[in-house]
Structure 1
Amino acid sequence: MTEIEERLTAIEMKLAFMEDFVRQIQEVAVEQAKTIDMLKKENKLISDRLRDMSDYLEGDVPNRKPPHY
């Protein structure tokens, strides 16, 4: 094997490893995007529930200051 063939083989091997690495990173990015979407939905649900509970409990607070204070 000549020096050029050896260098070409080394470059091809590095390229194959890099392609595999990029594929793995893409898979991780897709999973993270799914997780982020799920967490956003959960966060909105919890926020809405907390707002509803707060609104419900405000009616039970006696002598509450008027909003202009």
Structure 2
Amino acid sequence: MIAEDLFERCTNIEIKLAYLEDFIKELQKAALEHEKKIDALSAENRALRRKLDEIAENGSAPMPHTRPPHY
């Protein structure tokens, strides 16, 4: 009786461990995807900042304030 209970407990622990391992793999995938997106957004932000700095340095004339075409 005790051996059967111990076997059942071990089996339950192994099942939970398998689920946890799968969950950790999914979390790692999500973290890597987020890291790639953050890197891409950071690169885009740097490019936009450089572009704004270029406009500020080179453009002595103010930017035109025109309405967008959807107005």
Selected match of 2:44 from 38, 42, 45? 42
Q: Which runs of 5+ in 1 are unaligned?
A: 62-69
Distance in 2 between residues matched to 1:32 and 1:25, nearest whole Å: 10
Normalising by structure 2, we get a TM-score of: 0.78
Structure 1 segments of 4+ aligned residues over 6 angstroms from their partners: none
RMSD of the alignment, in Å?
1.5
Gaps of 5+ in 2: 63-71
TM-score of the pair, normalised by structure 1: 0.80
Aligned residues: 60
- For residues 2 and 26 of structure 1, what CA distance do their matches in structure 2 show? 36
